[in-house]
Amino acid sequence: MVCVNASPRVLVYGATGHTGRFVVDELLRRGLTPVLAGRSAERLAAVAPRHAALDHRVVGLDDPELLRRAVAGAGAVINCAGPFLDTAVPLARAAVEAGAHYLDVTAEQPVVQALYRDLDAPARDAGVAVVPAMAFYGGLADLLVTVALDGESRADEVEVAIGLDSWWPTAGTRTTGARNTATRLVIHDGALTALASPAPTGAWSYPAPLGDQPVVQLPFSEVITIDRHLDVGELRSYLNTAPLDDLRDSTTPAPSAADESGRSAQQFVVDVVVRRGSDTRRISAAGRDIYAVTAPIVVEGTVRLLDGRHRGPGAAAPGEAFDAGEVLAALEQEPHGLASVLRQPATTAGGSGTLVSSNESCSVRY
């Protein structure tokens, strides 16, 4: 096993993007040293004045040796540059070869599968961790499900319902959506299985502030992360349909700042119901701005990788790599983290009893 680089320097790839800027600010707030990296020299030269004194590195993805040199000296790499189908594997491989931990914020299922398949053994040999989907999509649901299981690894059924009061998509979200054409996967009979077409629709009763909402099955990267470390019989993921209407509308604007932190006014709830035998548990997290909240999530993971509060090398899901309860508790304390994490008794089937078949397929990709 090689000696792991414990440097507080963190290379942020895609640092000039919408999410990347939040990540850089959060790293600085946590006392780490961001290194700004990306494909565009022009965009790196035009960073916000508060970031102008930070180290900048223009890095393409088609030269493995250049990538390794760019990563050299960093203790961790955070990839915020989608489409992750194009960026994740080459950047993660360069990080592992340089002895740096790797995290990203992908919602793309094939990306997480590829990183688990291709980088687990090399990361173990290098003594570093590879933790994809440490973000709002993917990681947050994975952490919530892990906490709901309370130390157990088996669930008969898991339902994840993501609710947004609106969705103002970034340019990166739209580009990723056009690039990601893979069949979405759910877990059925204990195995990864293609989502039914057309995608089932129905209704979900979210905690405040969303309440009752129409939903469609729309799984993100949480399916792959949960399948990585938990034994689940059935897993269904839903998104309410109102934000999908926003996403489908080409005139919907990008997010705009509602306060001095740069966060938008968007509100979200991630609601999880876990069933094992006759035992049903429910846990939910609420907050503001799905892009901005990704920063404290991925930076919390980065801090724990650098200070040793993780479960060892290799490619891992967020709830596998870290103590999920500790991470959620820390995110509740962050100034721009989660507004609340609530454990609730599930008095109904969590909404699944109202799900009905639909003749309309969800065509949105992300």
Q: What is the pLDDT of residues 193-246, one digit of tens each?
A: 999 999 999 999 999 999 999 999 999 999 999 999 999 999 999 999 999 999
- Residues forming a β-bridge with 340: 286
Task: Supply the pLDDT for residue 344.
Answer: 78
Task: Supply the pLDDT for residue 346.
Answer: 53
pLDDT (average), residues 57-75: 91
The span from the first CA to the last CA of the chain, in angstroms, equals: 37
268-302 pLDDT, tens digit per residue, is 999 999 999 999 999 999 999 999 999 999 999 99
Cis peptide bond prior to 132, omega within 30° of 0: no
pLDDT (average), residues 86-98: 97
Task: Supply the pLDDT for residue 181.
Answer: 85
* 2: pLDDT strictly greater than 60: no
Helix (H, G, I), strand (E, B) or coil at 352: helix
* H or E stretch at 11: strand 9-13
Task: Supply the pLDDT for residue 177.
Answer: 85
For the chain, the average pLDDT equals 92
Task: Supply the pLDDT for residue 18.
Answer: 96
* 353: pLDDT strictly greater than 70: no
* 352: pLDDT strictly greater than 90: no
How far is 289 from 263, CA to CA, in rounded Å? Answer: 6
Q: Any idea which residue has 């850089």 for tokens?
A: 24
Q: Enumerate residues 6+ apart whose C-beta is below 8 A from 136.
A: 105, 268, 270, 290, 291, 293, 294, 297
Give the global pTM.
Answer: 0.94
pLDDT (average), residues 100-125: 98
